[in-house]
């Protein structure tokens, strides 16, 4: 599942956020990455204002911003077009 145009795990994390608000472990599993890497990616998305998060008990839930939604949709389109 290699894509020469995208950082695969970061792109997948963002694409999986298109499914709606979710938590870090779910993104890690769907992106086939480790929890610390998923956390690092989600924090970067939040810093760039592509995602927001809120704490629910001990769990942090992430979701795309409007800007992040647009970018994720474009990433998904590129991803789908470049899959072998």
Six-digit token pair at 69?
């939604």
Predicted structure pTM score: 0.85
Which fold would CATH assign to domain 8-82? Answer: Arc Repressor Mutant, subunit A (1.10.10)
Residue 82's contacts (CB-CB under 8 Å, 6 or more residues apart) are 3, 4, 5, 6
What's the count of helices (H) and strands (E) in the chain, helices before strands?
A: 4, 3
Q: How does pLDDT run across 29-82, given as a tens digit for each residue?
A: 998 999 999 999 999 999 999 999 999 999 999 999 999 999 999 999 988 888
Q: CA–CA separation, 16 vs 84, rounded Å?
A: 20
């Amino acid at each position: 599942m290699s894509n020469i145009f995208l950082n695969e795990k970061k792109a997948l994390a963002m694409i999986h956020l298109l499914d709606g608000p979710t938590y870090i472990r779910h993104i890690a599993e769907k992106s086939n990455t480790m929890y610390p890497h998923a956390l690092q990616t989600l924090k970067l998305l939040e810093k760039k204002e592509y995602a927001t998060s809120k704490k629910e008990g001990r769990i942090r839930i992430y979701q795309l911003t409007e800007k992040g939604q647009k970018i994720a949709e474009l990433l998904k389109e590129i991803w789908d077009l470049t899959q072998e």
